[in-house]
A and B are shown apart, each in its own frame.
Chain A
Amino acid sequence: MRKSDSEQLKRILSEELAQSDDVEDREMKSGELTARLLYIKTLCDPQKVQRFVIVPFWDLQNREQYENFLLSFPGSQRGDRVDAITEKLLQGFLAVFLGDELILFEATLNNNSNTKEANVETAVQGPQDAYTEKIETNLNLVRARYQTPTLRVEMFVIGTISKTKIALLYDQDLVNPKQLEDLRKRLQNIRIEVLQAAGQLEKLIEHRTIRLFPTMMITERPDRTVHNLANGKLVLLTDKALYALIVPTIFSDFFSAMDDMYMQNMVGRFLQTLRYIGLVLTLIMPSLYIIITSFNPEFVRVQLTFSIASSRAAVPYPSYLEVIFMLLMMEFLTEASIRLPRAIGPTATTVGGLILGQAATQAGLVSDIMIIIISVVAISNFVIPVNAMSFAIRVCKYPLVLLSTLFGFFGLIVGLMGLVFYLSSHRTFEVPYVKMFRKERKP
């Protein structure tokens, strides 16, 4: 390898990679011996680097000896071609420049022991890794899955007291520069003392005062992050916060699970359709019950009308009180089972389920049909794969119940129209929130 070649190599490597904040590029000098190290911090094991590269450099004063020492490790090799070197660096190799020579030394960090299984966004057939509370590990998880030199990492520190580290990840070639600039500016403008969660960060980035629907995806799955990076989105990793934020996110993203992508396409489509059906059901079922029982009983078949009528015979209160009572009971039950310690959780659901299911009808507080409707509402709400969206939808059905109580069918239709208007008024980083087709058509 000639000298000019080596210089060129150094320049290309630092230009290709060094723009990321997690790339380390340092020089060591001891006597006449000079070595330059270039590596991606988040992919390499710092212990290995220290013990096998840095310390021996000071111990072995001789260049030849040091070179032989490095090459004696399995996996070490001389590098000459730029693309091969880049590839190796992205796999967790160290590039050691010794004069004209370049030695690649393997120092891959394996994080298998540190990561946990995803338990908020579970997947049936797919990677099970989830983010941890350490940003370095998380960056490693992403880097390991996204081995492309165009991946950039920018570090920010937010929070005057907490000094939380934030990593902004994007693919240089795919990202929309306007969105990137916008997000950078927003991050720099954040004034807060303590930042502890990804959701908190989302609130700080968004400017709206009344917020119902999530406009950024919060995920614990590295594979979802990588998929979005590959689609040109921006990702924010927060230190000590477990979750990643994906920007910008649109409505339909919240209805896709990672499993959809891993399964046969017809199955994936079916599952997505199922979720939208679930969305409609959980939104309109309580309102529809009020409408059918109190406004337009002719809307359903005579057989069903009579069975609702007979099961409601014992209920003394109007239908909307029945619905609101049951909806509240369901929300209490859901909330209780989420917040309770794991040991008590099942007790709460059993007691609540028994009371709601059996006793309430026998006591004549609610009708049998109402129980079915409440279960449909609860279960179809859980079908929505991303929690933030599922919570938002939970809130949405109450205005619809109010409107249908007041105006019947007309109210429900107007309410649904209003919901669509509201959703379509959202923009996240200039992307329409209710965009029907996720991919831009290529010109």
Chain B
Amino acid sequence: MKRRRLALFVLLCATLLQSGCEFKDLDKRFFVVSIGVDKSKDPKKPYHVSLKVAIPSGQVQMGKESFDVYAVDDSTISNAVQHLKANVDKEFDFGHTKMLVFGKELAEDDYRDALDWMVRARFLQQIAWVGVGSPNAEEVLRVKPNFERLPSNALFLSFGQIGVESEFTVSRYLFDFFRANEEPGSSPVLPIIKAREGHFTIDNAYVMDGKRAKLRLNADETVLFNTLVRSQNKYEYVLEQDGKRFVFHADQISVSRSLTESPKPTATVKIKLGGTLVESQDQVVKEQDLLKVSDQLGRKIQKDIKTLLEKFRDQHLDPYEFGLYYRATHWDDVDQEVAAWKKMYPSLQFDVQVKVNLRGSGVIE
């Protein structure tokens, strides 16, 4: 009995050593909030990796944040991160790395290795947001918004939609981006983060083909794409007619889609929009004209979306994931399904039906 107790005691003492390296106080760590990967000019060291490190300050105030960006060229991303440790006195902690930025050049060339590293790195959380930085990733990391309280918080808030809810923003988590990248019948979309003096502009997006950024969506196309995937709940559309403009604010949206293979492969997309007119230039829209205006609006949005979908099709991109829809509704062998879809997609016809329900003219008569 006594010996057993002694053994237990020794065992307990041995556990005291167990915590070892894992135990490191928060104030002995540097929190990396964003990682940027750019293409460097040196062909031997192709990666230009930049880390944005937060320096916590006592008083959290708008615009009073402090951070540092460390960047280095290296042959691999892992090496670069290890190399950057030489610059600091505390251990890097990637637990709060929630923004991963590809440089524009890298994205347009080949981002696969960088994505592979991000997914593999065990210390990175898969719920980090991914974006493309313009002009390059490091510039994006260096932006210091005047209204930001904590480093990179502005980006976390825009993508997490905790703060701003913008119809121009496409948000992609790392795991979701990786999934869409690998999945046959799906093309990932990434937001373009434009670095400005003291703020960001996020209103464009890239559609990737699994290797590089292939198609750039302008602001209007991004809004239409967001309408399709319903990532937001408020949208505004502009209708131009006879030199006059109406602005339609939609707050009720429902989208449904279906695929038919015969007689001709056709994708049907039905969109219902409900909302009000919020701006009408030079004229007051009367109640009796509402039907007419909503009809015109519907036709316009229908045309735009059809054009966008055809554009995707012609570029062999599928961000709206018709391919996944096809695969989800077929029970063949995976390879067979993928091959059949690849054959079918280029000749796919789109039948877009838009129904606009104008609830009011937005004026009080």
Contacts and interface: CB of A to CB of B under 8 A. Distances in A.
A298 B23 contact: no
B15 interface: yes
A293 B25 contact: yes
A38 B58 CA distance: 79
Contacts of B341: none
B57 interface: yes
Interface in A127-166: none
A294 B25 contact: yes
A320 to B, nearest CB: 9
B27 A302 contact: no
Interface in A392-438: 405-408
Interface residues of B, number: 27
Interface stretch (A116-124, A260-268, A310-318, A346-354): A310-318
Interface string B11-35: 0000110110011111101010100
Contacts of A406: 15-16, 18-19
A302 B31 CA distance: 9
A293 B22 contact: no
B125 A310 contact: no
A407 B17 CA distance: 10
B304 to A, nearest CB: 38
Contacts, number: 75
A305 B95 CA distance: 10
Interface in A30-77: none
A393 to B, nearest CB: 23
Contacts of B25: 293-294, 312, 318-319
Interface residues of A, number: 25
A49 to B, nearest CB: 61
A408 B150 contact: no
B104 interface: no
Interface in A310-348: 310-313, 315, 318-319
Given A303-B153, A306-B150, A408-B19, A297 B29 contact: yes
Given A293-B26, A305-B96, A318-B25, 12 more contacts: A294-B23, A297-B29, A298-B125, A302-B96, A302-B98, A302-B156, A305-B26, A306-B56, A307-B56, A308-B26, A318-B23, A407-B19
Interface of B: 15-16, 18-19, 22-27, 29, 31, 33, 54, 56-58, 60, 93, 95-96, 98, 125, 149-150, 153, 156
Q: What are the 3 closest A-B residue pairs judged by CB atoms, nearest first?
A: A298-B95, A310-B56, A309-B56
18 contacts: A293-B25, A293-B26, A295-B22, A297-B95, A298-B96, A302-B31, A302-B153, A303-B60, A306-B54, A306-B60, A309-B29, A309-B31, A312-B25, A312-B27, A315-B27, A318-B25, A407-B15, A407-B18
